[in-house]
Structure 1
Amino acid sequence: MENEFVINKNEILEASKSRGESAFLTEKRTEALDKLNSLDMIKPDKTRVSKWDFFTVTDQFVESDVFGSLEELPEAVREVIDIETVENVIIQHNNTTAFTKVSDDLKSQGVIVESIFDAAHNHPELLEKYFMTDAVKIDENKLTAYHAALLNGGVFIYVPKNVQVKSPIQMVVLHDDEKASLFNHVIVVADTGAEVTYVENYVTTLESAQGKLNIVSEVIANDNARIKYGAVDFLAKEVVGYVVRRGVTGNDAVIDWALGLMNDSDVIYDNTTYLMGHGSSSDVKIVHVGRGNQKSNFTTEVIHYGKETTGNILKHGVMKDSASSVFNGIGYIKHGATNADAQQESRVLMLSPNARGDANPILLIDEDEVVAGHAASAGQVDEIQLFYLMSRGLKREEAERLVIHGFLAPVVESIPIESVKNLLVSVIEEKIVN
């Protein structure tokens, strides 16, 4: 069977036991290990992954340095954190929770910001309620089970009812060990009437690495809650990955996504929002720059179950060299979701003859009283725009850079932390120029 492999179950469970893992997480790990080889592999549209190596993990856990203060943070982390003003941040160094800072105000209101392992001990009833129950299932496919089996990092964030978190909560994952794999699990829960902005960054100091990337994020907005989820991913070459970010909304809830997906490796991305509650909404913005020979596949889906729900998808990609990407945007209005509104736009610029970008808008509608629309394009940089800028004295390379930055700006501007936004701009610049 393709993608079948041998895994040492006893070794994994013994290692988890030696770290004092909670009984619940060990139980879920065991369940995943038992189901692993009986599950089907993912089959992303227009991307053959039978030869992608998602499974060869050198070290399940890599112990790395911790930091005693913000001032001790490495430069790669300090670039995305304003150490003068940051109030709420958690740093993961490879597989080690290396630093946590949460304001006394949030603690007094019952807000939880902890590693996934600490939360399993300190808040078991909450973690067990949300861990791989609604947004993502352990037995969904071979890679979700592999994620649960090798879980080695992540964060649990819970905002109690009617608490409004004014300052963003930020997570930074520093990947600087070439053997470290990242099997992070992120859970963000805003209870009824709560509001929170969460921003995560995956940064690296490596040019290439041997580790694997298998991330699952579960984002739950209960009735009348609002969650803004921002991310900038920029990891090294050869870190083959599977990234799943899913959201579930209650009545009149909002989940907005702003994702800068800049990894230099081959990655399959799944971003799905389930609009379960009536009057709920989701706005999804994604930007990607592909280069070299990397292959990427993006499936972005908003599924409407509730009445009067609204889903907007905006994806902009830039492809250069021999990179290729598939952008699948899906607006799915289920039967009974009357007065739902599903809109999407996918646009791809190709900067070289060998680059390839497929933009595939898909509308699935099982209800009559709805509004839906889509737009898609894939092509070269607009020569008229270039001509105009060059007529003002710019060289072609400079004009092209300005056009590309303008093309990606709608997503960049939606990143809610200035330092993270600046990182995304610099990453885009670096990937365009080099």
Structure 2
Amino acid sequence: MSTQTVLPIDRGTVQALSERNREPQWMKELRLKGLELAETLELPFVEKTRLDRWNLSTYGAYQPGAAVQSVSELPEEAKNLFGESFSNSLLIQRNSSVAYCHLSEAATSQGVLFTDLETAVREHSDLVQPYFMKAVAQDEHRVAALHSAVWNGGVFLYVPKNVSVELPVQALFLAEGTEGACAPHVLIVAEENSSVTYVENVISAGDAGERVVNGVVEVFAKAGAKVRAASIHNLGHGLTDLSYRRAIVEKDASVEWIIGELNNGNAVSDTTTLLKGDGSTSDTKVICVGTGEQRLSLTTRAVHFGKMSESDMITRAVMRDGATAIINGITKIEKGATGANGQQTEKVLMLSPTARGDANPILLIDEDDVKAGHAASVGQVNPEQIYYLMSRGISKEMAQRLIIYGFLAPVVSEIPIAKIEDQLQRLVERKLEQ
């Protein structure tokens, strides 16, 4: 039964946000509807996780970030991502608004659109409205409804039919200070037979206080399109990360997710692919490192509607100290999805007797002529492997690290940009050394 609840925002705040952004009437109405829904909707159900015990009441206030023109103007945590200069195609959001946006000339000449979502709502409303909050519906649960009401900044990436974007498009979402709201919405539309790689980093700088970062990524891959989306999250201790990613994949299209969950605070991550079209495919790879007293819930999901559709999901989690992780892998094959093939693997490596990891593989099959399989394991570092490496002159500490890196390698090695792969490796090392 739904019950009325006290929300972290009010109607006046939502109206002021919409008016500040000079949004069309449809977006203003959508925001207000989201707020109304949030008053009665329940929190999302998360396996073995009591979200009602988490601090989800602090979203912060709309706080524009200062514009930047060079790497030197960013906090140290962000500088490390770029080296000496920005990439050709990059968007930077600081707290509630976009501070920098540039698209390469090559992509611009092909008709690609890459801008903040606030601008896209005003200038490309006809392209945004058919897709916004259509993959992640605003009435799914309270978190989705609140996001639809308070989202800010964000990304709109549109790739026309038959266009291939050669260089990756990147985004940085930066939470600074202790009061600025950060709720980015990413909307990617890849038209027929197009291809694009999108890479995002979600980080915090300095003392970011205690806030909720409520982000959504929606991907629409039309027939024959190929979308690769990499997302690396590294938020500070006081930040609670709620991330919902959803892709709708049409005939012969493919979506590849590469996810690095390296936050220091509590986090819920849900990455779902809806394989709508015949011959559609998806590949999801997730790594997670939990430390301290973190509470983590990671769900990967593939839902097969199309005939001969294929999905593969791999999750690797390393837990130490008193951290807890719930790892859910869900493969759903709907009636009529003949010839579908869904595979999944979840593995958790625990480095402490007080760490906990639950791997829950789930197969839901409503069709006979299909293939589906799962594998799951939870355990500690094998002492025989440690002994073998030490017998070759390697220290115990280094032997343990080598085993951990080998455990995570199936995901880390798939990062589409060498610099991002190196960054992910550094973040893993930093978390394991804390």
- Normalising by the smaller structure, the TM-score range is over 0.9
| CA distance in 1: counterparts of 2:32 and 2:402, whole angstroms | 51
CA contact (8 A) 1:244 1:271 kept: yes
Shift of residue 3, structure 1, vs aligned partner: 8.4
Shift of residue 82, structure 1, vs aligned partner: 5.3
Instruction: Tell me what 2:225 maps to.
Output: 225
Unpaired runs of at least 5, structure 2 = none
Shift of residue 175, structure 1, vs aligned partner: 1.8
Q: What is the one-letter code of the residue matched to 1:128? A: Q
Shift of residue 208, structure 1, vs aligned partner: 5.1
Shift of residue 282, structure 1, vs aligned partner: 0.3
SS state of the match for residue 130, structure 2? Answer: helix
| CA distance in 2: counterparts of 1:82 and 1:368, whole angstroms | 53
Residues 116, 403 of structure 1: alpha-carbon distance in 2 compared, 3 angstrom cutoff: same
CA contact (8 A) 1:189 1:221 kept: yes
CA contact (8 A) 2:243 2:268 kept: yes
Instruction: Tell me what 2:357 maps to.
Output: 357
SS state of the match for residue 50, structure 1? Answer: helix
> How many residues align structurally?
432
CA contact (8 A) 2:5 2:40 kept: no
| CA distance in 2: counterparts of 1:38 and 1:130, whole angstroms | 25
Alignment of 1:303-342 (within 5 A): 303-342=303-342
Which TM-score applies when normalising by structure 2? 0.96
Instruction: Tell me what 2:247 maps to.
Output: 247
Alignment of 1:266-285 (within 5 A): 266-285=266-285
Shift of residue 311, structure 1, vs aligned partner: 0.4
Residues 210, 360 of structure 1: alpha-carbon distance in 2 compared, 3 angstrom cutoff: same
Deviation per residue, 1:349-383 (Å, 9 max, x gap): 01001100001111111111111111100000111
| CA distance in 1: counterparts of 2:330 and 2:48, whole angstroms | 15
Q: What is the one-letter code of the residue matched to 1:292? A: G
SS state of the match for residue 62, structure 1? Answer: coil
CA contact (8 A) 1:79 1:419 kept: no
Shift of residue 78, structure 1, vs aligned partner: 3.0
Instruction: Tell me what 2:65 maps to.
Output: 64
Alignment of 1:41-120 (within 5 A): 41-59=43-61, 61-70=62-71, 72-81=73-82, 86-120=87-121
Pick aligned residue for 1:17 from 16, 19, 23: 19
| CA distance in 2: counterparts of 1:44 and 1:72, whole angstroms | 39
| CA distance in 2: counterparts of 1:82 and 1:256, whole angstroms | 27
Give percent identity, aligned residues only. 38
Q: What is the one-letter code of the residue matched to 2:416? A: P
CA contact (8 A) 2:71 2:82 kept: no
| CA distance in 1: counterparts of 2:84 and 2:302, whole angstroms | 36
Shift of residue 84, structure 1, vs aligned partner: 5.3
Shift of residue 169, structure 1, vs aligned partner: 0.2
Alignment of 1:89-238 (within 5 A): 89-133=90-134, 135-206=135-206, 209-238=209-238
312-321 vs 378-387, which moves further: 378-387
| CA distance in 1: counterparts of 2:364 and 2:13, whole angstroms | 45
| CA distance in 2: counterparts of 1:73 and 1:332, whole angstroms | 43
Residues 225, 82 of structure 1: alpha-carbon distance in 2 compared, 3 angstrom cutoff: farther
Shift of residue 25, structure 1, vs aligned partner: 2.2
**Does 1:26 find its partner at 2:25?**
no
CA contact (8 A) 1:317 1:348 kept: yes
Shift of residue 207, structure 1, vs aligned partner: 5.0
Which TM-score applies when normalising by structure 1? 0.96
Shift of residue 83, structure 1, vs aligned partner: 5.0
Structure 1 consecutive aligned stretches of length 4 or more whose deviation exceeds 3 Å: 69-75, 82-85
Deviation per residue, 1:4-29 (Å, 9 max, x gap): 21442123312431342333321211
| CA distance in 2: counterparts of 1:363 and 1:239, whole angstroms | 33
CA contact (8 A) 1:216 1:244 kept: yes
CA contact (8 A) 2:176 2:207 kept: no
Shift of residue 2, structure 1, vs aligned partner: 7.4
Q: What is the one-letter code of the residue matched to 2:368? A: D
CA contact (8 A) 2:70 2:85 kept: no
Shift of residue 73, structure 1, vs aligned partner: 4.0
SS state of the match for residue 405, structure 2? Answer: helix
| CA distance in 2: counterparts of 1:51 and 1:366, whole angstroms | 35
Q: What is the one-letter code of the residue matched to 1:145? A: A
